[in-house]
């Protein structure tokens, strides 16, 4: 154990996440396979460093020389990407270490996850090669995405270069790629994403320790199938959660799922109750799937670091009051009724018919002008109990208005104005606003509505306003924030 | 009670759902308000019957004469849409009855839902007026959508004119409009949608009885806040579920939600456990929210009327095997491992590396040709235990390929071919296929992917293949189908 910790301290994460010189070993001249795939991805995302290609057959790819060996690369390298057949990996890894690489990611599969003698032996060789002085990500992984340096996962040519507070580590490569993409779609920004597959060397506990002290990381999300060193992981989780939110999606909690874990990333699953209890004790945020993880990250990214137990719900939608009351009870928030005097003042601003001034405030009409909504939200915030306001949008109804006016929906829908108004109200009241953008119009004949929603989401997120696809999703994310900060405080 | 049943028998539903002559009472010459709104909606959706406008001030709207009273309309009417102030409603309703209307929908609010003496008295007047011989939908509702006749809810100018098996009734008007829109987006087709608001006359139990015997309706969905006559509703639910699936979303099951129900549609909520037990006893399909209801309707629409407990999962995606195993356990399906001989035959068809032939079949590579997938699915279906196959698609990865080829994503993604191939496999094997289209690329820079997904969904649905947005949603919908048909049989 002591040796492992020493090794950690010596890891050159800077050269691993922000390498200047990369070798891609196992690039086919034909441009197919993982090696050529990651080469294209790095070019497309705009990685600025030098890339050296390696294949014993030599030749070239897209005008770039393919070196016949790692040794043939001129000068040293910082990092290596290895995509050769399994049995060749240990030797290549050692060559990369001798070339000065601080780390290497190994895309190749055919190791411990096979459960065969040969696979297990090869994985042991990797562990041994790593111990000589090179950190290994993988094997059986999709590698690292780091927006700052332009290092990207496979396939990740179109991920963002904007950096942000969210770090993600995942045993599953597919999950890492999906999370990076889904996160980008809803406005998450990343510090680092690491897919570590079998985790022969660098894995969950050590990455957690690194992210804890990484100044670029403010929120940590993890997809875990199984862990290797329970004590170390739990200690790291507890220490990290005391500093930053750690959001955990544990796969394989069912009996069958636990068996599946073994063949996917060669680690042990575990019993549901034990995991629940461990995660709770460590004050980790436990989520059920990737969407919930994305939404929790968004809430932690944009909301101030405290809990919000009393909220308003302002807006409209089918059975708003009933749905809000049901969901509030499930997710542990209160929607306190306004005093009569306040309700009357809000009522004076509401359109007729069908509106309702209590809390929730059902504006009923989808076309209430932003400046009226501003006054309503300002008034609602004067109730001292209120910690946060939730606005449930009905902007899909502008589709009909756009049609009647013969104009594009983006021109008639005041979502940018709304976003500006909400930012003002937030600044004036000190109470955050959360927006629910639920769109029932998303079929082929409503692609203009879908586009407008994506643009509206962007406008809100840019102004620091988290957006969720339903009241349920928003309140569930808020619940995670509330529980995390309350437990942290206590 | 006896009288109510007699009245039901005499209701002319044909003239209510498919009216030839409609009066809209309460249309402003300025073209604003609910009356003008529904007039525009009916024109835009292409209602073929005659529409008569009524307002005491007279005048005209869009070239159409506004009559000064219901009496002034030439000849009889079949149906009326009433959008006048609450206190004028009873008299208008009576005039419509005298004009021969079989029914009327009342958009106006200001009745029982207010909880005031005046509101309660006015609602009693409506009940009395209805009893004289006109069926009332509402008040405080958005009315009827019937694709066959082109009658539409408010606002519903862009709903489909294609008819299909799904009937929906809802106390909430917003929910009715959202359900009709969301259903259209995912490929649901409707027989009738009824928003009945306060339900002063026609409401859940009676509509259920009507839908049970309606040959155009095969699946019934309901949003219920509270019911009026528990015994009649339960009897109707039980008798109807024995014939057709009835999918129920009960709002207001929380303590706070139950209070909210009272002010929304003036009915009594109810305790969670009682509702669960009632719905279970009647073999109704209970869902938690609108999306789950839409998805259940889709599964019931496109799957054969039986249960499917043993499935294959074929495709790819982050941690497919682990996620499938976890979800299968939660939703009560088995993913039985293939015999070695079958697994080997499937393995021969799979690309390398990273694929896995057991069940789930992880094809790993997103670009496996449709004809290969066809062979895999055919082979997998030879396992006699298998009832149904689930394909988890990775088509969002074609975005990168499209980019590299410099072509539109719709041209490079073989989703139509895939849909054709699946239809063939279904026909040959007699085992349905369900497709999971999960798209992590949906932000502003991926609108082409979003459009391609909408088109792909359409291609699958057209060929009778249900599509869900995630494995979780698909398996949850399948669970509803399984439980319904197994309980029905027993």
Write out pLDDT tens, residues B100-142. 999 999 999 999 988 899 999 999 999 999 999 999 999 999 9
CA-based nearest distance B78→chain A, Å:
27
Q: pLDDT for B210-252, tens place per residue? A: 999 999 999 999 999 989 889 999 999 999 999 999 999 999 8
What's B443's DSSP letter? S
Find the range with the poorest average confidence among A73-77, B394-398, B403-407: B403-407
Helices B89-98, B117-131: inter-axial angle, 10-degree rounding: 10
Task: With a cut of 70, say whether residue B5 has pLDDT above it.
Answer: no
Predicted pLDDT at B7? 42
Judge contact between B135 and B102, C-beta under 8 A: yes
Convert chain A into a string of H (helix), E (strand) and C (coil).
CHHHHHHHHHCCHHHHHCCCEEEEECCCCCCCHHHHHHHHHHHHHCCCCEEEEECCCCCEECCEEEECCCCCCCCCCCEEEECCCHHHHHHHHHHHHHCCCCEEEECCCCCHHHCCHHHHHHHHHHHHHHHCCCEEECCCCCEEEECCCCECCCCCCCCCCCEEEEEEEECCHHHHHHHHHHHHHHCCCEEEEEECCCCCCCCHHHHHHHHHHCCCCCEEEEEECCCCCHHHHHHHHHHHHCCCCEEEEECCCCHHHHHHHHHHHCCCCCCHHHHHHHHHHCCCEEECCHHHHHHHHHHHHHCCCCCCCEEEEEECCCCHHHHHHHHHHHHCCECCCCCHHHHHHHHCCCCCCCCECCCCEECCCCCCCHHHHHHHHHHHHCCCCCCEEEEECCHHHHHHHHHHHCCCHHHHCCHHHHHHHHHHHHHHHCCCEEEECCCCCCCHHHHHHHHHHHHHHHHHHHCCCCEECCHHHHHHHHHHHHHHHHHHHC
Going across the sheet that includes A64-67, the strands are A60-61, A64-67, A50-54, A21-25, A79-82, A103-106, A135-137
- Pairing type for strands A103-106 and A79-82 reads parallel
Window 256-295 of A: residues touching B by CB (8 A cutoff) are: 256-261, 263-264, 289-291
When the pLDDT of each residue in chain B is averaged and rounded to a whole number, the result is 94
Beta strand extents in A108-147 (DSSP E only): 135-137, 143-145
Reduced to 3 states (helix: H, G, I; strand: E, B; else coil), residue A282 is coil
Rg (CA), chain A: 25
Do B206 and B234 meet the contact criterion of CB atoms below 8 Å apart?
A: no
C-alpha dist (Å) from residue A368 to A365, A397, B177, B382:
6, 12, 19, 59
* pLDDT at res. A271: 79
Order across the sheet with A467-468: list the strands.
A361-362, A311-315, A388-392, A433-436, A467-468
Q: How many CB pairs under 8 A join A and B?
A: 221
Start-end ranges of CATH 3.40.50.261 in chain B?
2-299, 304-489
Nearest CA distance, B347 vs chain A (angstrom): 14
Closest Cα in chain A to B262: A322
Q: Which of helix, strand or coil describes residue A182?
A: helix
**B253 vs chain A: nearest CA distance in angstroms?**
6
B195: its two tokens = 């928003």
Rounded to whole angstroms, how far apart are CA atoms B39 and B61? 9
Out of A173, A254, A353, name the one closest to residue B109 (CB): A353
Instruction: Say which CATH architecture domain A304-489 belongs to.
Output: 3-Layer(aba) Sandwich (3.40)
What would the two tokens of residue B380 be?
A: 């997998």
Instruction: Report residue B6's pLDDT band, with 50, 70 and 90 as the boundaries.
Output: very low
> Do strands A60-61 and A64-67 pair parallel, antiparallel, or not at all (unpaired)?
antiparallel
A445 in reach of chain B (CB within 8 A): yes
Q: Do A181 and B396 touch (CB under 8 A)?
A: yes
Partner-chain contact B326 A255, CB within 8 Å: no
C-alpha span between B431 and A148 (Å, rounded) = 49
Among A403-407, B342-346, B353-357, B360-364, the minimum mean pLDDT is found in: B353-357
Chain A: give the shortest CA distance to residue B323, in Å. Answer: 7
pLDDT-derived band at B268 (thresholds 50, 70, 90) equals low
**Whole-number Å distance between alpha carbons of A209 and A267:** 20
Nearest residue of B to residue A249, measured between CA atoms? B323
Q: Closest partner residue to B325 among A40, A178, A254, by Cβ?
A: A254
Average pLDDT over residues B390-402: 94
Among candidate residues A424, A351, A438, the one with its CA nearest the CA of residue A391: A438
Per-residue pLDDT 10s for chain A (490 aa) are 333 333 445 899 999 999 999 999 999 988 888 999 999 999 999 999 999 999 999 999 999 999 999 999 999 999 999 999 999 999 999 999 999 999 999 999 999 988 899 999 999 999 999 999 999 999 999 999 999 999 999 889 999 999 999 999 999 999 999 999 999 999 999 999 999 999 999 999 999 999 999 999 999 999 999 898 899 999 999 999 999 999 999 998 888 787 777 666 665 556 788 899 999 999 999 999 999 999 999 999 999 999 999 999 999 887 898 999 999 999 999 999 999 999 999 999 998 877 888 899 999 889 999 999 999 999 999 999 999 999 999 999 999 889 888 999 999 999 999 999 999 999 999 999 999 999 999 999 999 999 999 999 999 999 999 999 999 999 999 999 999 999 998 8
Which of A25-39, A88-102, B69-83, B259-273 shows the lowest per-residue confidence on average (mean pLDDT)?
B259-273
Strand extents, DSSP E, A151-250: 163-170, 190-195, 219-224, 246-250
Could you give the CA distance from residue A385 to residue A283 in angstroms, rounded to a whole number? 26
pLDDT value of position A9: 52
Q: Tell which CATH architecture fits domain A2-299.
A: 3-Layer(aba) Sandwich (3.40)
CB < 8 Å from A in window 140-199 of B: 140, 155, 157-158, 170-179, 181-182, 184-187
- Comparing B383 with B273, which gets the higher pLDDT? B383
pLDDT in tens, A197-223: 999 999 999 999 999 999 999 999 999
* Residues ≥6 apart with Cβ < 8 Å to B380: B312, B314, B338, B342, B346, B359, B361, B386, B389
User: Which of B85, B152, B175, B326 to probe the A interface (max A CBs under 10 A)?
Assistant: B326
Partners of residue A141 in chain B, C-beta under 8 Å = none
Contacts A171 to B, Cβ<8 Å? 319
Contact call for A445 and B254, based on CB within 8 A: no
Residues comprising chain A, all counted: 490
Burial class (CB in 10 A: 0-12, 13-18, 19+), A411: exposed
As for the ipTM of the complex, it is 0.93
What torsion, rounded to 10 degrees, do the Cα atoms B304, B308, B312, B317 define?
A: 80
Q: Which residue of A has its CA nearest to B446?
A: A185
Interface touch A157/B354, C-beta < 8 Å: no
Tracing tokens 């441009």 back to the chain, one arrives at A31
How near does any CA of chain B get to the CA of A479, in Å? 17
CA distance B326 to chain A (A): 5
Confidence category of residue B72, pLDDT binned at 50, 70, 90: very high
Interface of A with B in 27-56 (CB under 8 A): 40-41, 44
Residue of A109, A316, A319 to mutate, interface with B, max B Cβ within 10 Å = A319
Contact A102/A12 with Cβ under 8 angstroms? yes
H or E element at residue A320: helix A320-331
Q: How far apart are CA B71 and CA B353, in angstroms?
A: 78
Question: Would you call A388 helix, strand, or coil by DSSP?
Answer: strand
Residue B265: predicted pLDDT: 63
SS3 for A393?
coil
Contact at CB, A326 and B451, closer than 8 angstroms = no
Query: What DSSP line would sit under B318-329, residue for residue?
Result: TTHHHHHHHHHH
- Which chain B residue's Cα is nearest to A84? B353
| CA proximity to A391, closest of A442, A336, A320 | A320
> Do residue B319 and residue A186 have CB atoms under 8 angstroms apart?
no
| Spatial contact of A302 and A466, defined as CB atoms under 8 Å apart | yes
In the sheet that holds B79-82, the strands lie side by side as B60-61, B64-67, B50-54, B21-25, B79-82, B103-106, B135-137
Q: Are B433 and B424 in contact (CB under 8 A)?
A: no
* A329 vs B255, B316, B472: nearest CB: B255
A226, closest residue in chain B (CA to CA):
B322
CA angle B45–B22–B191, rounded 5-degree value: 50
| Angle formed at CA B469 by CA A262 and CA B427, multiple of 5 degrees | 90
Q: How far is B318 from chain A (nearest CA, A)?
A: 4
Give the pLDDT of residue B133.
96
pLDDT at B272 over 90: no
């Amino acid at each position: 154990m002591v040796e492992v910790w020493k090794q950690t301290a010596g890891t050159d994460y800077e050269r691993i996440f922000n390498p200047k010189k990369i070798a891609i070993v196992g690039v086919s001249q034909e441009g197919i396979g993982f090696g050529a795939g990651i080469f294209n991805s790095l070019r497309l995302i705009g990685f600025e460093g030098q890339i050296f290609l390696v294949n014993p057959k030599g030749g070239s790819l897209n005008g770039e020389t393919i070196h016949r060996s790692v040794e043939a690369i001129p000068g040293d390298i910082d990092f290596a990407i290895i995509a050769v057949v399994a049995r060749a990996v240990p030797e290549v890894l050692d060559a990369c270490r001798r070339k000065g690489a601080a780390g290497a990611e190994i895309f190749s599969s055919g190791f411990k996850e096979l459960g065969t003698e040969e696979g297990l032996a090869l994985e042991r060789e990797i562990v041994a090669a790593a111990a000589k002085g090179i950190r290994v990500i993988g094997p059986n992984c999709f590698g690292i995405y780091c927006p700052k340096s332009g290092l990207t996962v496979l396939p990740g040519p179109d991920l963002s270069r904007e950096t942000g507070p969210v770090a993600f580590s995942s045993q599953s490569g597919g999950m890492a790629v999906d999370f990076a993409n889904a996160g980008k779609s809803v406005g998450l920004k990343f510090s680092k994403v690491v897919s570590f597959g079998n985790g022969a060397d660098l894995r969950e506990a050590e990455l957690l320790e690194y992210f804890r002290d990484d100044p670029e990381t403010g929120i940590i999300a993890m997809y875990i199938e199984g862990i290797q060193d329970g004590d170390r992981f739990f200690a790291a989780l507890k220490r990290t959660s005391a500093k930053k939110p750690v959001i955990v999606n544990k796969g394989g909690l069912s009996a069958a799922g636990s068996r599946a874990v073994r063949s996917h990333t060669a680690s042990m699953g575990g019993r549901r109750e034990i995991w629940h209890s461990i995660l709770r004790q460590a004050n980790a945020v436990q989520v059920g799937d990737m969407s919930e993880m994305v939404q929790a990250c968004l809430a932690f990214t944009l909301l101030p670091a405290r809990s919000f137990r009393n909220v308003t719900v302002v807006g409209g939608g089918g059975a708003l009051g009933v749905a809000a009351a049901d969901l509030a009870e499930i997710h542990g928030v209160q929607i306190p009724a306004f005093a009569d005097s306040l309700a009357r003042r809000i009522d004076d601003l509401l359109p007729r018919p069908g509106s309702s001034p209590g809390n929730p405030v059902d504006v009923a009409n989808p076309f209430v002008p932003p400046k009226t909504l501003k006054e309503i939200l300002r008034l609602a915030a004067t109730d001292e109990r209120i910690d946060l306001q939730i606005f449930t949008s009905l902007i899909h109804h502008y589709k009909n208005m756009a049609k009647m006016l013969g104009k594009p929906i983006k021109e008639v829908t005041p979502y940018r104005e709304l976003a500006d108004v909400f930012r003002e109200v937030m600044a004036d009241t000190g109470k955050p606003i959360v927006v629910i953008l639920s769109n029932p119009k998303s079929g082929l004949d409503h692609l203009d509505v879908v586009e407008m929603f994506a643009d509206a989401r962007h406008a809100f997120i840019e102004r620091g306003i988290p957006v969720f696809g339903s009241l349920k999703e928003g309140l569930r994310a808020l619940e995670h924030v509330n529980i995390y900060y309350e437990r942290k405080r206590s």
